[in-house]
């Protein structure tokens, strides 16, 4: 086989569909977020980032940076090993305690990323519980889907956010079958939120374990940033809460929080936990500082809510279509991969506004979009510039559409 020719033809096909991914190279600067420097060859451009998952700006927060500096100086760069072979640092243990407390669980277990925590956590439970059947929401994240597939356990996909659909699927199995129900709280591309209480009612009626991915919710929802389940007083009813340290907490890493026994089980059998180097201690300390800060402070969450509401209101005034949802994610709908990319390029080139186009397979074809994530550090001026630019490009698109129609 001519491997190089094969690689090229596959890449060309993606390019023809307008969904070839090109990195946007930026440098974030301490204290300057959402402003950053973009590198294009030998030149640079000042940009405002509108598509970051550093939802609360904690990646630039002094509390986090200072904690990381301190532990970097005290402990050095790397963990020095896997968790079982010399790599368990005191700061990992402190962070796991912080996470268990955040979710009102007996224990928590750290992973390299949110992706790995889903892949390894869900995969290990599904694989190691004899006869386990997994019930997965139709819009679950790739990391959960890969974990379920990798487990080789049988699985059923239930209709997105439908407790009735879940109930129908669960009803097909007798009480003797171990069942694991996997879903998210905030879905990252549409920004919709699961009816968690109703889903838990169904899980409990069928004796199923519940596994919730709160990656796009931890830090952001609930009085202490414990996620949507905390906000709704449901954490105690959920078997496993999974989250990331890489989005609202501003650092990197993932985790599950659950009973002591369940965490010990995953710790003892998950290859994605056992056979990989532990997170750098400084990173663990930064994440713990971020969690502690957001447990005590609503300042960032309140300000973010205000920024999100302001951007939504201004889009509505201009008639720019965006998916209505009860979360902090604003999907501005474009509906065509090429057009989405052209708008994104135009915003960047003419206004230094950075919004990555979201294409298939992340979202279904025909629903391509610009996903805006307003944060507490976006100023009124930033919002004015975004809205003016969007208004400009939208009227150009409207004019073009009318010209074609005529
Ligand atoms: N779950 C969901 C729902 C996600 O959207 C993502 C990442 N976008 C992950 C898990 C993975 O988290 P991480 O980025 O920490 O690997």
Segments of the chain assigned to CATH 3.40.640.10: 62-296
Give the separation between CA 111 and CA 125, rounded to whole angstroms: 15
Paired strand residues for 48: 35, 353
Query: pLDDT tens digits for 41-86?
Result: 999 999 999 999 999 999 999 999 999 999 999 999 999 999 999 9
Segments of the chain assigned to CATH 3.90.1150.10: 11-59+298-397
The terminus-to-terminus CA distance of the chain in angstroms comes to 51
Query: pLDDT tens digits for 252-279?
Result: 999 999 999 999 999 999 999 999 999 9
Ligand 1 in reach of 188 Cβ (< 6 A)? yes
Ligand 1 in reach of 114 Cβ (< 6 A)? yes
Give the separation between CA 330 and CA 355, rounded to whole angstroms: 11
> For the domain with range 11-59+298-397, which CATH number is right: 3.90.1150.10, 3.90.580.10, 3.30.420.40, 2.60.120.260?
3.90.1150.10
Prediction pTM value: 0.96
Query: pLDDT tens digits for 350-388?
Result: 999 999 999 888 899 999 999 999 999 999 999 999 999
Pairing of strands 133-137, 155-158: parallel
> For the domain with range 62-296, which CATH number is right: 3.40.640.10, 1.10.10.10, 3.30.465.10, 3.30.1330.10?
3.40.640.10
Which residue of 215, 246, 247, 272 sits with most ligand 1 atoms within 8 Å of its CB, as the best mutation to test the pocket?
215
Ligand 1 in reach of 147 Cβ (< 6 A)? no
Q: Which helix (H) or strand (E) holds 143?
A: helix 142-151
């Amino acid at each position: 086989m001519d491997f190089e020719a094969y690689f090229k033809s596959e890449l060309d096909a993606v390019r023809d569909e307008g969904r070839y991914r090109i990195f946007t190279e930026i440098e974030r600067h301490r204290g300057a977020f959402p402003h950053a420097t973009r590198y294009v060859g030998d030149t640079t451009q000042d940009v405002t980032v509108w598509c970051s998952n550093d939802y609360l700006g904690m990646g630039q927060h002094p509390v986090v940076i200072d904690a990381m500096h301190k532990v970097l100086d005290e402990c050095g760069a790397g963990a020095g090993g896997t968790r079982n072979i010399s790599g368990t640092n005191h700061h990992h243990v402190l962070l796991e305690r912080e996470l268990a407390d955040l979710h009102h669980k007996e224990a928590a277990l750290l992973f390299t990323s949110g992706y790995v925590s889903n892949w390894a956590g869900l995969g290990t439970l599904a694989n190691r519980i004899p006869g386990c059947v997994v019930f997965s929401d139709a819009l679950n994240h790739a990391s959960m889907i890969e974990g379920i597939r990798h487990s080789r356990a049988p699985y059923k996909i239930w209709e997105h956010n439908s407790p009735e659909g879940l109930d129908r699927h669960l009803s097909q199995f007798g009480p003797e079958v171990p069942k694991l129900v996997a879903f998210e709280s905030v879905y990252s591309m549409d920004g919709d939120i699961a009816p968690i209480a109703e889903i838990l009612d169904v899980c409990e009626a069928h004796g199923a374990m519940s596994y919730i991915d709160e990656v796009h919710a931890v830090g952001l929802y609930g009085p202490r940033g414990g996620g949507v389940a905390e906000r709704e007083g449901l954490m105690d009813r959920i078997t496993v809460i999974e989250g990331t340290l890489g989005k609202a907490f501003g650092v990197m890493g993932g985790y599950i929080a659950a009973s002591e026994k369940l965490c010990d089980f995953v710790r003892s059998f998950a290859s994605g936990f056992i056979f990989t180097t532990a997170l750098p201690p400084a990173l663990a300390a930064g994440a713990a500082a971020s969690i502690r800060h957001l447990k005590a402070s609503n300042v960032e969450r309140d300000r973010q809510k205000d920024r999100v509401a302001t951007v939504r209101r201004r889009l509505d005034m201009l008639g720019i279509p965006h998916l209505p949802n009860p979360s902090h994610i604003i999907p501005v709908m474009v509906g065509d991969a090429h057009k989405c990319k052209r708008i994104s390029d135009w915003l960047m080139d003419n206004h230094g506004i950075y919004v990555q186009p979201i294409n298939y397979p992340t979202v279904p074809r025909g629903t391509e979009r610009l996903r805006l994530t307003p944060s507490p550090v976006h100023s009124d001026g930033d919002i004015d510039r975004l809205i003016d630019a969007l208004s400009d490009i939208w009227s150009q698109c409207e004019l073009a559409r009318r010209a074609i129609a005529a």
